[in-house]
Amino acid sequence: MNKVLPFLVSDLTLDVKVLGKELMRDNSVGYRIELFSNKIPVKYESDGIKRIVSILQPLIEVFNNGSIVVAIDDLDCGMHEYLFGELVKMMCEQAKGQLIFTAHNLRLLEIINKKFLAFTTTDPDNRYVRYKNIAAHNNLRDVYIRDIALSDTIKSAEISYGFRIAGE
């Protein structure tokens, strides 16, 4: 993780500090530890940093292994819009495995190819919506916002993304 983290968040690294021994429920001896980021306990970091640290290992697996599939709900939760967009852009361009996720971040409509997008709605008769016949020069974010304002089809929609780079 320490090889990848500095590329996502400048100079960020993780360390584990052993706080002491502890008797476990099965009477074995365990260790109480705390995770630190650059000498600061991770518990005091921003929600975005905590989110990145919590999902980084499965993302590394998807990035490196073509047989891995990872699904994450609200992948963008707590992350800065730009950082989240760059993370997804990198995954789209270089990941070997498959990442399926939901998000509320509209920046991704400008990054991800529309063939990898599905919009989930609260309408049980029209649960999943895919955009078709969108010209290459159209901004999908603008189309989506216009549809929310003018249509009952996509009201209260959540964006679901899924992509597989290797062997599209």
Provide the token pair at 159. Answer: 């964006």
77 CB neighbour count, 10 Å cutoff: 18
The whole-number pLDDT of residue 165 equals: 41
Strands (E), the chain: 14-23, 29-37, 40-41, 69-72, 98-103, 117-120, 128-129, 158-164
The whole-number pLDDT of residue 62 equals: 93
Quick check: helix, strand or coil at residue 84? helix
Residue 78 predicted with pLDDT over 50: yes
CATH of domain 66-164: 3.30.950
141-156 residue pLDDT tens: 888 888 777 765 555 5
Give pTM, 2 decimals: 0.74
103-116 core/surface letters (b: 16 or more CB in 10 A; e: else): bebbbbbebbeeeb
The whole-number pLDDT of residue 83 equals: 87
99-135 residue pLDDT tens: 988 888 888 888 887 778 877 777 778 777 777 777 7
